[in-house]
Amino acid sequence: MSTMLLEAEKNALIRQILDVDDIAILKKIRSMLNHEEEQVRAVAEEATPYRTKTEILESLDEACKELKLNLEGKLDFKPAEDLLDEL
């Protein structure tokens, strides 16, 4: 949805809400809006991939092993400059 269309929709909704004179309707609108925002937030959180403690520890263990191999001269790391050049 384009920004202009989004702003137009928001303004139309605001105008419509401002015309409401019933407190019960306004409370219901607020409740529905809060509920929808919570739903969107929950979906966004579910989509965020989280690593487990085990996965993090395994990753750290692998990094330590690679560092040890490098210090022993058995594994060469790419220089940071080469990595930046790849970008």
Rounded to whole angstroms, how far apart are CA atoms 45 and 37?
A: 12
- Among the residue ranges 4-8, 12-16, 41-45, 61-65, the one predicted with the least confidence is 41-45
Q: Which residues contact residue 87 at a Cβ distance below 8 angstroms, ignoring those fewer than 6 apart?
A: none
Q: Is the pTM of this model over 0.75?
A: no
The per-residue pLDDT of the chain, averaged, comes to 89
Pairwise CA distance, residues 65 & 43, whole Å: 37
In this predicted structure, the answer to whether residue 12 has a pLDDT above a threshold of 90 is yes
Given pLDDT bands bounded at 50, 70 and 90, which one contains residue 85?
confident
Residue 4 in this model has a pLDDT that exceeds 70: yes
77 CB-near residues (< 8 Å, 6+ apart): 70
Residue matched to tokens 């990753």: 59
| Annotated domain spans of the chain | 3-47
Query: What pLDDT score does 30 carry?
Result: 94
